[in-house]
Every structure is written in C-alpha cells, then in structure tokens.
Amino acid sequence: MLKVVVAPDPVLSMVCKPCDVGDKGLIKVAKQMAKIMYSNNGCGLAAPQVGLDKRFVVIDVDWDGEDPKTGNPIFMVNPEIIETKGEPVKDKEACLSCPGINVVIERQPWARVRFYDLDGDEWEIEGDGLLGRCLQHEIDHLDGKTLFESCDPSLRLQALQKYDQAKAIGAKPGESQFNVE
C-alpha cells in the first residue's frame, strides 16, 4: 500500500521518469493515490510523494472536502506545462510531503498543461487560481522540487526551521501549524 513520503526523503528530489502511455498498471496506482489525497484533505498528489519514480499526478481542486465518493479526480500521465502567463502572484501553499507548514510561493496565476489520461488519450487543461497553482505545484514535484525549492530563497531557511518545529510536534500530512511569509 502506498503512503505519503515526507521531506527530506530523497525520492522528492528526483526528476521522475516518463510513464508508458496507456499502461494499465497506472489504474491501481491512480485509485490508491486519489484515496491518499482525499484522506489527507489534499487537492493534488504527485507520484514521488508516494515514493514512485513516475511522471504521474492526481488533482481535484473542486472536491468538497467531505465524502471522497463525491470527488472528480483528474489523473495526468506525463503532464507538462506548455504555457504560463500573468503577473506573478504570491500565495500560501501547503504540501502533503511537507506537513505542518504553509509557505508563500510566487507563481504565475494561469497555466496550461498537456497530459495523457489513463486510457492513453492526449488532453490539455488550463486554469487559473487554485487550479493553475496546483498544476504548477504538482509538476514541480515531478521535477524534484518541493516547497523549499519553490519558495523565495529569503524564506527558505525560515521554512526549513518551521518544518523542523512542525515535525517535532508530530505534524501529519494535511496539517498546517505554521505560516512562512
């Protein structure tokens, strides 16, 4: 059974390998990842966050946070950002692999991503707000970047210190005790 991997696990620093498009083995992984994401109140989860060296993510920014059966996850095989635009916006982000902290990250507000679904069909998705931010955040994971590498270097030391404090008090994925701004 898969479980959330937390920083500083080395798998979170790897650039993930592409998946075989149409690989039916991803269906089981997809279901497990969605279950983990929902059970930890996340809106996205990338394969390295469950210890897998695969370019695969699940996202659901519209879930009501209550019943996982009401979720409508989007499974993305080999997603790639093909365009971002807009004046960069600073906003807090949390991460299941960095429990206990929210860190201000500056990102462009809109993103377009090309990916394959579990059947091997090619799609594009675009979004702003939480969707645009989530797309960029999860794809960062596929490139070996966590909140610590994505935040402004001036916040990195503070983020690492707050993360150590959160771990010391037993923070679990989906929990946020400290803000780093």
CA angle at 174 for the pair 170 and 179, rounded to the nearest 5°: 80
Instruction: State the greatest distance between any 2 C-alpha atoms of the chain, in Å, as a whole number.
Output: 44
SS3 content of the chain, % helix, strand, coil (to 5): 35, 30, 40
Is there a catalytic annotation at residue 138?
Answer: yes
Residue from 138, 149, 175, 181 carrying the catalytic annotation: 138
Three-class secondary structure of residue 107 per DSSP? strand
Give the sign of the dihedral formed by CA 15, CA 42, CA 127, CA 30: positive
Give the sign of the dihedral formed by CA 45, CA 42, CA 120, CA 84: negative
> Which residues have a catalytic role annotated?
138
